[in-house]
Copies of this chain bind each other. A is one copy, B any other.
């Protein structure tokens, strides 16, 4: 028998919230939504399941200004994010020119095993009214 993650009520509940969300949200925000809905899920369990999903590359995470980790279900493949710092609404964006720039700069200075982090923050049109 192949090991398989158990399909618990709590795991489904966390997944359902992520499906409904537009933008990034913190573990505690997701927990609050669950509590408000009446779904009883422990905070530890929310953290645990979010981490499972990150490890499975089903969810992207990034750190907000205040250091809180934010989560969002994203499409597969390398991309970056344009995030509204007020409402969290997020657009996935690609930047081939940026990828090339990062690799070139790293090579010029003799760096190998290169990776990069890039996020764009702003105020979305709705929040800017």
Provide the bound-state CA to CA distance between A85 and B93, in Å.
Answer: 26
Contacts A82-B105, A105-B82 known; A110 to B125 CB distance under 8 Å?
Answer: yes
Provide the bound-state CA to CA distance between A95 and B91, in Å.
Answer: 22
Provide the bound-state CA to CA distance between A78 and B112, in Å.
Answer: 24
* Contact with A122, one of B69, B115, B120 (Cβ below 8 angstroms): B115
Q: Across the interface, name the chain B residue whose C-beta is closest to A115.
A: B121
Chain B residues within 8 Å of A84, by CB = 111
Docked-complex contact B97 and A120, CB < 8 angstroms: no
State the Cβ distance, A101 to closest chain B Cβ, in Å: 5
**Count of chain copies:** 2
* Contact with A120, one of B106, B123, B124, B125 (Cβ below 8 angstroms): B106
State the Cβ distance, A47 to closest chain B Cβ, in Å: 14
**Given A97-B98, A98-B101, A110-B124; 13 other pairs, CB 8 A cutoff:** A63-B63, A93-B105, A95-B105, A109-B125, A110-B125, A111-B122, A112-B123, A112-B128, A113-B123, A113-B128, A115-B120, A116-B120, A118-B118
